[in-house]
Amino acid sequence: MAEETIRLNRDFLGKEYHSGPQLIEPDSIRKYALATNEKNPRYLSTKSDADLVPPPLYPVVFLPGILDQLVNDAEQMQLDILRVVHAEHQMVWKDRFRVGDQVYTTAKIVNIEKRGTNEILDLQIQCKREDVIAMEMNYRLLVRGKKKEGEEKPSKESFASEKGVVLVNQKSTVTADQGLRYAEASGDHNPIHKSDEIAQSVGLPRAILHGLCTMALASQAIVDGLLKGDPTRMKSMSVRFSQPVLLNQTLTTEVYDRGESKEGLKVVHFETKDEKGVPVLVLGTAEFIE
């Protein structure tokens, strides 16, 4: 029996999707913060809504409107949504988001390529407040091909890299209901994050945590451990999602010193492992103002 490979429709290369305006409301900021187990009072204060600061990963709440449009194109694109996993994500903060902002989001399909039996799809995303680009993201999706029955799994890719001085070692608890809470706060209701049955139907062991929730948990090690709780100092963050994260476990994020960028920003690398010591976030890099 031949391998069941997939091939996305290349006619969609260059297509753009638009959504918004989306209003940043105080309750939305608090809801996202609580869904990612935040305790930072900058995200949760009830004294003044105007003083609330969104958590670093909060802008991902602008993505569901874009992704819904991608889902609408799925049949013509030959995209099996249930076989899609988030492979890599990069965020670049250009300006601050504030309560009351009206945000417009644009995404463009900039790359589709074959990787073995899998396909890669890259989205380039901008979030604007009026004419100001406040956030840029690169969002890589991997569409998992189907293997032959009895086919051996490929050996795991090695992500070993040089590690500097350890700056932070922080544990995060993934609760049994984390996927449900994050789905409600982020707007990402992909059923592989909410239903064991559906997740298992596409080859996953059971429901898995959203990759962006794992990234949000890792960001806390940097903001709380190195930035004195001030997320506005963060300028960029990128990760590769190397393994699915199962619910109801403890993750450990370790942050390493990597010196300074050419622009004078502090650079750190980080890696997150599950409670078995398996890396789930790799090649993590963040830049921030010291």
- Band (2; pLDDT cuts 50, 70, 90): very low
| Structure tokens given for 184 | 């409600």
- Band (5; pLDDT cuts 50, 70, 90): low
Distance CA 254, CA 13 (A): 37
* Domains in the chain, CATH or no CATH each: 10-149+160-288 (3.10.129.10)
Q: In this structure, what DSSP letter does residue 94 have? A: -
pLDDT recorded at residue 3: 47
- The 3-state DSSP composition of the chain as helix, strand, coil percent (nearest 5) reads 25, 35, 35
| Structure tokens given for 191 | 């059923």
Q: Closest Cα partner for 188 from 170, 156, 212?
A: 212
Distance CA 188, CA 182 (A): 8
Residue with tokens 């139907």: 201
Distance CA 192, CA 198 (A): 6
Distance CA 16, CA 179 (A): 29
Strand, coil or helix: 40: coil
Distance CA 211, CA 208 (A): 9
Model confidence pLDDT, tens digit, residues 208-226 = 999 999 999 999 999 999 9
- Cis amide bond preceding 41, omega within 30: no
pLDDT recorded at residue 4: 56
Q: Do the Cβ atoms of 66 and 107 come closer than 8 Å?
A: yes
Model confidence pLDDT, tens digit, residues 146-198 = 765 544 444 445 455 567 789 999 999 999 999 999 999 999 998 889 999 99
Neighbours of 268 (CB within 10 A): 22
The helix (run of H) or strand (run of E) holding residue 29 is helix 26-35
Q: Does residue 24 surpass a pLDDT of 60? A: yes
pTM metric for this prediction: 0.90
Strand, coil or helix: 3: coil
